[in-house]
Amino acid sequence: MRELRVAKTAGFCFGVSRSVEMAEKLFAEEGHCLSLGQLIHNEDVVKALSDKGMRVIASPEEVKPGDKVLIRAHGVAESVYDSLREAGAEITDATCPKVTAIHTIVRRAREEGRFVIVIGMRHHPEVEAICGWCGEHEVFENAAELGLWLDKNPEIWKKPLSVVVQTTQTRNNFNECCDLIKKRCTNSKISDTICLATFTRQEEAERLASDCDAMVVIGGRHSANSVHLAQICREHCGCVQFIERTDELDLDMLKDKAVVGLTAGASTPAWIIKEVRNKMSDEIKVEESTVEKEMSFDEMLEETLKPIYNGDKVKGTVVAITGTEISVDLGTKQTGVIPTEEFTEDGTKLEDAVKVGDVIEAVVVRVNDVEGVVTLSKKRLDAAKVWAEVEAAVEDGTVMEGVVTEDNKGGVVVSVKGVRVFVPASQTDLPREAAMSELLKKTVRLKITEVNKARKRVVGSIRRVAQAERRERTEAIWNEIEVGKKYHGVVKSLTSYGAFVDIGGIDGMVHVSELSWGRIHQPSEVVSVGDEIDVYVINFDKEKRKISLGYKDPEGNPWTQFTNRYAVGDVASVTIVKLMPFGAFAEVLPGVDGLIHISQIANRRIGKPEDVLTVGDVVDAKITAIDEEKHKISLSIRALSAPAPVAHAEEEPVEEKNEPADDALVYEVSADGTASGVAPEVEE
């Protein structure tokens, strides 16, 4: 054998230690006592106690008035307590607190008329005692038994059930039974009453057995937890010795094994474990490194006996999670417990916050030596760490993050990892007229400016961070800006000539002519303050820090749409938008107008356009000319009309030499896109 690995959890659990200590105390005070049944399942311990003055009795009938009677760690039925009191015994109750908790559960179930299912070894003293506190009940040792019973008794499926499990049962057996109950029964309350120490011990035994070539399990033949340990080890290791004491150890079986594991049941005293370990070390050559590991076992035993006090900072491993508490192995005889609400009060799911196997640091809130439970608080330790971070943030200027939880006239309160930070109104970075409530429930970044831990007062500034970030964004924009670059911005203000848009710390101006391809009179016709819009850079001046932006989509240019759709000679349905002495302007497409000269409105001579047309009329017109360079269009209604009647002979012919030709372009388009007519010159 090259290596010996000793389980950290080997030896007395809290319940066993407590019962033995109570016996020792009785010996010291009275010199003797009676034990109703074996105090624990270990012959050597029972013999040692008997030598000191403890006598084991089988029933209350053996008790005489005034006798000091010690109730065993496994507990007894409710009726036994009554019998002992009737006999005049003075009772010292050494029942393990974990077992007592089960008695309470099943007693309440009895009072509520619930049927109780007990999962455990049918003839074990602990299970027999539990049954003595039940009303209607059944005991099942495994899922196979339970399944057959449920099949034969379908009437039980809808009954109110309460389920408990022997403290020393294996997790797998319990889970298999629970799965059956959940599938069949519709009104069940399942209580996971497996002792944390048992669960931890079983998990470690499983890991050891999987990694070792051989396992030695020390425990009493009648000890349920020891029997289960041996069973678990056999499932994962081909060579397992289950012994009660040192003289049963078969060293020949271990000589050719490279790595051997050693564990022990909850009722095995430390001195037996040491004897077995020492014998293995003496008889088998173990490398020096292994001896060092073995020697640390004494230290580990001492560590488990160290007292824990309120306020201590401790570290442990999560070994079990229920709906109400997290169980933590602290490496001591006590079990650490943290309420689940410490992990879920901010809305986080429990399964996302903590998992079995996680190492957790916490502060001791309360020590209950009677029940072997230490109440812990991770939240308090985290809060202390945060205070340290907050104090350091004042010195180094660290930016912290939190959520705004309260508002008032003076400012807002920000929760930074649970610490309340007050931010005055002047430091919120909101405009003066803005309500503080605008920040509620928002995540903000801030700097800590003042800390007074004694008064629990912390002051911060959102504004300092916002200003610094704006400066950074501003410089970044000026370093990267170029014509044509696109930005996503927010409309900050409107004027008669355009809109100012924040593109990330810098305001640029979108001229009214760049807001729309169509006619608009005010920027508010297109955008409003607070709108998020996409803009692009038309030009900029770094020295003057000015940026001109465009909002109109270049691909939406109406002139491009017009030229893609129409050509000279096409007929378009147009809308009359303006009447002038020399003709009428008509909208061909939104943003594109053409001129119908007065000579092209009708197939006869008219005095003015309004004699025939009205603003808003929709008419068909022929496109007679297109100036691509100046974006001008000439239209003609006359070209689509029938010829005018032939004039009478006495009528003088009408001179039309001053009328423009069909393809004449007789108007101008201003720089802002507005078309205006230019009347033709008349020769004198």
Q: Is residue 474 part of a domain?
A: no
What integer best gives the mean pLDDT of the chain? Answer: 83
Q: What is the pLDDT of residue 255?
A: 83
Angstrom CA distances, 390 to 346, 396, 406, 452, 477, stand at 21, 10, 19, 10, 33
β partners of residue 488: 534
Please state the φ and ψ torsions of residue 168, each to the nearest 5 degrees: -105, 10
Q: Residues with Cβ < 8 Å from 238, sequence gap 6 or more?
A: none
Q: Is residue 81 part of a domain?
A: no
When pLDDT is cut at 50, 70 and 90, the band that residue 560 belongs to is: confident
What is the Cα–Cα distance from 596 to 675, expressed in whole angstroms? 12
The pLDDT tens digits of the residues spanning 411-458 come to 999 998 878 899 999 999 888 888 898 899 999 999 999 988 778 889
Half-sphere exposure of 176 (CA within 13 A, CB side): 15
Q: Six-digit token pair at 594?
A: 């053409």
Please say which residue of 538, 556, 574 terminates a domain: 556
When pLDDT is cut at 50, 70 and 90, the band that residue 684 belongs to is: very low
Domain of 265 in residue numbering reads as 196-304
Mean per-residue pLDDT for 146-166?
93
The pLDDT tens digits of the residues spanning 625-634 come to 999 888 899 9
135 and 168 belong to one structural domain: yes
What is the layout of strands, in order, in the sheet containing 161-165? 137-140, 115-119, 161-165, 188-190
Asked whether 125 and 72 are in contact (CB, 8 A), the reply is yes
670 and 573 belong to one structural domain: yes
Q: What is the pLDDT of residue 267?
A: 82
Could you tell me what percent of the chain has a pLDDT over 70? Answer: 88
β partners of residue 413: 406, 422
Please say which residue of 506, 534, 556 terminates a domain: 556
E strand or H helix at 281: helix 270-283
Closest to 219 measured CA to CA, from 4, 49, 10: 10
Q: What is the pLDDT of residue 521?
A: 81
Half-sphere exposure of 684 (CA within 13 A, CB side): 0
Burial of residue 647 (number of CB atoms within 10 Å: 0-12, 13-18, 19+):
exposed
575 and 668 belong to one structural domain: yes
- Residue 140 backbone zone (phi > 0: left; psi -120 to 50: alpha; other: beta): beta
What is the Cα–Cα distance from 230 to 249, expressed in whole angstroms? 14
Which amino acid is it at 150?
Answer: L
pTM: 0.47
Asked whether 361 and 312 are in contact (CB, 8 A), the reply is no
Q: Where are the beta strands (DSSP E) in 425-475?
A: 443-452, 457-461
Q: Which pairing describes strands 411-416 and 325-329: parallel, antiparallel, or unpaired? A: unpaired
30 an active-site residue?
no
Asked whether 12 and 269 are in contact (CB, 8 A), the reply is yes
Q: Is the pLDDT of residue 662 over 60?
A: no
237 and 280 belong to one structural domain: yes
The separation between CA 32 and the C-alpha centre of its own chain, rounded to angstroms, equals 58
The pLDDT tens digits of the residues spanning 516-548 come to 776 778 888 888 998 999 888 999 988 888 999
What is the Cα–Cα distance from 163 to 156, expressed in whole angstroms? 13
Q: Six-digit token pair at 99?
A: 């077992």
Q: What is the pLDDT of residue 283?
A: 61
Please state the φ and ψ torsions of residue 205, each to the nearest 5 degrees: -65, -40
The pLDDT tens digits of the residues spanning 184-226 come to 998 999 988 888 777 778 888 999 999 999 999 998 888 888 8
162 and 218 belong to one structural domain: no
183 and 204 belong to one structural domain: no
Q: Is residue 539 part of a domain?
A: yes
When pLDDT is cut at 50, 70 and 90, the band that residue 579 belongs to is: very high
Q: What is the pLDDT of residue 192?
A: 85
Could you tell me what percent of the chain has a pLDDT over 90? Answer: 35
Residue with structure tokens 């022997």?
166
Please say which residue of 282, 304, 326 terminates a domain: 304
Asked whether 240 and 200 are in contact (CB, 8 A), the reply is no
What is the layout of strands, in order, in the sheet containing 3-6? 3-6, 259-264, 214-218, 240-243
Q: Is the pLDDT of residue 371 over 70?
A: no
Give helix 196-211 / helix 224-236 axis angle, nearest 10°.
30
User: Regarding predicted confidence, which is higher, 49 or 241?
Assistant: 241
Mean per-residue pLDDT for 70-92?
91
When pLDDT is cut at 50, 70 and 90, the band that residue 266 belongs to is: confident
Mean per-residue pLDDT for 40-69?
85
Q: What is the pLDDT of residue 561?
A: 83
Q: What is the pLDDT of residue 555?
A: 65
Q: Is the pLDDT of residue 42 over 60?
A: yes
Q: What is the pLDDT of residue 29?
A: 79
Alpha helices in 362-501 (DSSP H): 378-396, 462-480
204 and 296 belong to one structural domain: yes
What is the Cα–Cα distance from 234 to 215, expressed in whole angstroms? 9
Q: Is residue 45 part of a domain?
A: no
What is the Cα–Cα distance from 251 to 642, expressed in whole angstroms? 125
The pLDDT tens digits of the residues spanning 224-256 come to 888 989 999 999 999 999 999 888 999 888 888
Mean per-residue pLDDT for 492-515?
88
Secondary structure (3-state) at 111: helix
What is the Cα–Cα distance from 488 to 524, expressed in whole angstroms? 19
What is the Cα–Cα distance from 599 to 321, expressed in whole angstroms? 93
Q: Is the pLDDT of residue 264 over 80?
A: yes
Q: Is residue 24 part of a domain?
A: no
Counted domains in the chain: 6
When pLDDT is cut at 50, 70 and 90, the band that residue 372 belongs to is: low
E strand or H helix at 264: strand 259-264
Q: What is the pLDDT of residue 294?
A: 41
Q: Six-digit token pair at 237?
A: 């290791």
The pLDDT tens digits of the residues spanning 86-133 come to 999 999 888 888 888 899 999 999 999 999 999 999 999 999 999 999
673 and 570 belong to one structural domain: yes
Q: Six-digit token pair at 14?
A: 């809290």
Flag the least confident range among 27-41, 48-62, 118-132.
27-41
Q: What is the pLDDT of residue 126?
A: 92
Q: Is residue 282 part of a domain?
A: yes
Q: What is the pLDDT of residue 287?
A: 40
Please state the φ and ψ torsions of residue 65, each to the nearest 5 degrees: -55, 135
Q: What is the pLDDT of residue 370?
A: 62
578 and 494 belong to one structural domain: no
Q: Which pairing describes strands 373-377 and 335-339: parallel, antiparallel, or unpaired? A: parallel
Q: Is the pLDDT of residue 135 over 80?
A: yes
Mean per-residue pLDDT for 595-615?
92
| CATH number of domain containing 101 | 3.40.1010.20
113 and 172 belong to one structural domain: yes
Angstrom CA distances, 547 to 317, 526, 528, 553, stand at 60, 20, 20, 18
Q: Is residue 292 part of a domain?
A: yes
Q: Is residue 407 part of a domain?
A: yes
β partners of residue 507: 502
Residue with structure tokens 């970030």?
469
534 and 447 belong to one structural domain: no
**Catalytic member of 3, 126, 204, 450:** 126
What is the Cα–Cα distance from 162 to 117, expressed in whole angstroms? 6
E strand or H helix at 85: helix 78-86
216 and 273 belong to one structural domain: yes
Q: What is the pLDDT of residue 386?
A: 82
| CATH number of domain containing 405 | 2.40.50.140
The overall longest dimension of the chain from CA atoms, in Å, is: 158
